[in-house]
């Protein structure tokens, strides 16, 4: 069974994916998810939105330009808009959590990002995500400055 953090991370990825797909801000999709999850009508399959999910989505949104610039700079041979939408968003989430969230061990961030890529993207995606996030881990002290 997945941990609460794993579920929160997966939901954050789903929110970023939906926002990207719809061409709206992640904060707008997050607000929609929160409102729907609190709707008193019978459960329509809308999951609860955990605090950590909100923290991840809002954190990404706060650093979105820097994160997208990093991904664009270091994803050799890939532009953001050519990248599979799942890869782009798992990288956005993983980069935010790796660089700006101190409460999660770096190895856990990498492992969880790879697991999300395995579940939601192509066969090549886990290695791509792992390689790029490992590079960001090396650059972390410089990026945070």
Over the stretch 84-97, which tens digit does the pLDDT of each residue have? 999 999 999 999 99
Question: Which of these, 89, 90, 97, lies nearest to 116 by C-alpha position?
Answer: 90
Q: Is the pLDDT of residue 1 over 80?
A: no
The neighbour count for residue 86, using CB atoms within 10 Å, is 20
* Confidence at residue 24, expressed as pLDDT on a 0 to 100 scale: 98
CB-based contact 101:59 (threshold 8 Å): yes
CB-based contact 91:113 (threshold 8 Å): yes
Give the CA angle between residues 136, 54, 140 to the nearest 5°. 15
**Interatomic CA distance for residues 61 and 82, integer angstroms:** 21
* Confidence at residue 44, expressed as pLDDT on a 0 to 100 scale: 61
Domain boundaries, the chain: 2-142
Q: What is the pTM of this model?
A: 0.93
* Confidence at residue 37, expressed as pLDDT on a 0 to 100 scale: 83
Give the pLDDT band (50/70/90) at residue 98: very high
What SS3 state is found at 38? Answer: coil
What share of the chain in percent tops pLDDT 70? 94
* Domain 2-142 indexed as CATH 1.10.10.10: no
Q: Is the pLDDT of residue 129 over 60?
A: yes
Over the stretch 19-76, which tens digit does the pLDDT of each residue have? 999 999 999 999 999 998 887 665 566 678 999 999 999 999 999 999 999 999 999 8
């Amino acid at each position: 069974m997945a941990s609460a953090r794993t579920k929160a991370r997966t939901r954050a990825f789903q929110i970023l994916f939906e926002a990207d797909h719809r061409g709206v801000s992640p904060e707008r999709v997050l607000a929609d998810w929160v409102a729907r999850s609190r709707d008193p009508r019978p459960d329509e399959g809308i999951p609860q939105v955990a605090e950590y999910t909100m923290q991840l989505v809002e954190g990404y949104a706060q650093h979105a330009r820097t994160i997208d610039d990093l991904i664009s700079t270091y994803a050799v041979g890939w532009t953001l808009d050519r990248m599979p939408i799942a890869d782009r968003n798992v990288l956005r989430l993983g980069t935010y959590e790796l660089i700006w969230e101190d409460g999660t061990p770096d190895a856990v961030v990498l492992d969880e990002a790879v697991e999300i890529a395995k579940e939601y993207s192509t066969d090549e995606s886990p290695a791509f995500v792992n390689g790029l996030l490992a590079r960001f881990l090396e650059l972390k002290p410089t990026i945070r400055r």
